[in-house]
Structure 1
Amino acid sequence: MKAALYTRVSTDIQAEEGFSLDAQLSRLRAYCESQAWEIYDIYTDEGESAKNLQRPGLQRMMAHIQEHHLDIVLVYRLDRLTRNVVDLHNFIQELEKHNVSFKSATEVFDTTSAMGRLFITIVAALAQWERENLGERVRMGQVEKIQQGKRTGAHAPFGYRYEGGELVPDGPAAQLVQDIFAKYLQGWGTMRLLRWLNDTTDPKLTPISGRWSQNTLRYLLDNDVYAGYVRYGFGSRSKGETIIEPGDHQPLIDKATWKHIQKLRQKKKSSPSRSGTGSYPLTGVLRCGRCGAPMIGKAKGHKTGRRYYMCSERNSSRTCDLPYIREFILNAMIRKEIQNIYEEQDNIDKPKRMELKNLKQSMDSKLEEIERRRSRWKDAFEEGLIEAVEMRERLDALQEQELELRAQREPVAKEIDYSEVELKLLKSFSRIWQEANMHEKKQVVNLLVRSITVYSVTQVSIAFA
């Protein structure tokens, strides 16, 4: 059985008797010897706390677990690995996924025995209880705060700032909020408001408002904090529970004005939309290359019914200058780009693909050499040829080399990692596109493509799934 020995000390307890790296390692080696386990590698985190699992040595061990090099993870004590029951539960689940056992040398935590598995089951139940209990405590605390008229949000909404923990109006920004509500009452729509708010030539607006989007403006118009209320449960995690209470902060608009504006907002929201994107197969993956917003489909002209894709920010706020792009032009660009990708992959085959495979094999050989060098340094330590401090320095240097090499290997592996199915789809994409219906086109796009960024009527960039 191949064992991973994991040791850790944090800076504040490194000198404590019985917890030094050498003391932990000595105990773990003795335990492996008593069980006739083969020590595959030693993973050490020096000066690292147990607050989370993001530690270099632990992450290197996790990589070896995922590569199926290990059979069991051995620690001196459970708190050397983690002090968080949820982290422990997640760690054990990851081990189980790769058929790796877990054992504490000085405690009953042991997934190789019935009693140990019982304790792990208890840990899982405790982890679930802790998650639910924490959520309930947070919810109760937030509800209590709302009932006291306090706001639970982390950031002050635009127009306010925190002063001594209390919301207070923020000068020019507060005045701008009042102007927005006043103009909306006068009949200004959101598109007109956005053009005004994003007018870079207005010296009164530029220093305080920045760039406004449709979502930002809608959030402001629907936020009852400006009428003097505080709320809980407005977001998606509220499980249907919404609590609104009078706040103890100064409102920027009176309640009568707020109620009138919400009636106007509700009336506009209930109006049917005149356009949709359901019949546009590229929506969902298209992104504007100039502002980063999603792109939508839109038909122009009742008689001609010309179909376009356009930036959603240009459609809503007029703050983006990406031009409308005819659907057939964009389809042609994408078909050409995908054909180019296929031809590149097809041409990689002989010399290039072989070169990349050789490069990947070379990197794999270097990774194996790093493992051999680790073993030699550990052998030298066991024979008393080097001190523990020197061994840790050597192992840390090898760990840095391994992480850098794995980072270089990943893009090379991906470049030659197209499956046969994906290559066939790339090859026949143009034919499929011509014959498929809208729903089928969308399925093919979602299967092959993660995102398509449109920079102009002649330039697109495709990120494949």
Structure 2
Amino acid sequence: ENQIDYTTPAGKFMLVMQGGLAELYSDNLSLEVKKGKQERKAQGLYNGLLPFGVMKGENRVPVPDPSSFPGLIMMFELAASGKSDREVARALNAAGYRTAGNRVGKPFTKDGVRGILINRFFVGELPDGKGGWIEGSHQPFINAEQFQEVQDMRARNRKQPKTMKRTARTYSLSGVLRCVDCGGPMWVHSNNKGRARIYCRERAKGEGCVNRGTFLDVYEEQVKEYLTRFVIPSDYQAQILKLYGHLQHVETNHESKQKELAGRLERIRKLYEWGDKPEAEYLYESGQIKQELAELVPEQQRPDVLAVLGEFLSDVSVAWEKATQEQRNRLARRLFEFARVKDENVVSVRPQPELRPFFQISEDCQSKSLSGDPDRGRTGDLSLDRTIAA
């Protein structure tokens, strides 16, 4: 133990010496750390905590992080399509992504999104310490064209009047498409050129789904071809209406169906409250169930549509061709409970209950191939969902 008396002249001298040595050690340590960082920078290596979407790989070189890299891609795609930093942050939070770095595990904010979108680290560069950038040893995670597209779009957004009202756009198949592989909903967003793309929500979250999705107009064309091939032969008209009337009588009791839906709604609510179900998933599923409940009209109150359904369906392909995106969405929801998609193909559709007899008999009467190609070419075969077609 130190027995120096720091009140004496000699003790005061020793105190000054010890303070000087401590300061020398601290300054030297700081210098060595700076030299180490400069050496890493000279080698093109990153210093500090890695940003969102990447992780340390071999030789400590950053590589894509499988759990968050899809979110990084999603972030730049949304920004390139014209979404604001705040809108991008909301989309990432809804998809279940959280921040990395100093604020790890926190919800995204517009400022956090901004820091990522302007960071040239993602195009393979590192700060040179003088306000510029140098080439890094890590791979570019975002191509330079898309990165510049995001910067240009953000610049245009800043020049827009602050009072400009932005409203969510409804696309023709919004809320209708489901993923064949994971069963989850398919999301849609458009790039700055206005071309909408469909992608699997679970794939974007990095949950392991392999469904790539494709552009919306590819799916629209397949749906149009399917509706064009829809037929109601005149000699089958009476049988279709008879089958429809029969299904109305054998349909599950409305009261029991209502209880079933209410029970499902209560169960997912409890799972959400217990923390076993993500918020975005809970909101989507509860919305679907509430919509089913709203459409569950007592049988004796349902309008008599038997006489007009055949005429409605016979002209549906013409209506689809002439409709706007919003009108097509209303039409698609009127026709289908959902459609299943896989990569570039619409695989199957599930019609609304009152329309199922028409779709079943139409499918029995004509080829179900969307392209008419017996070798099942690019568009594949679109048919009724097997769970209801049997």
Q: Flag whether TM exceeds 0.5 (same fold).
A: no
Whichever structure has more strand as a proportion of its residues is: 1
TM-score bin, normalised by smaller chain = 0.3 to 0.5
TM-score (normalised: structure 1): 0.30
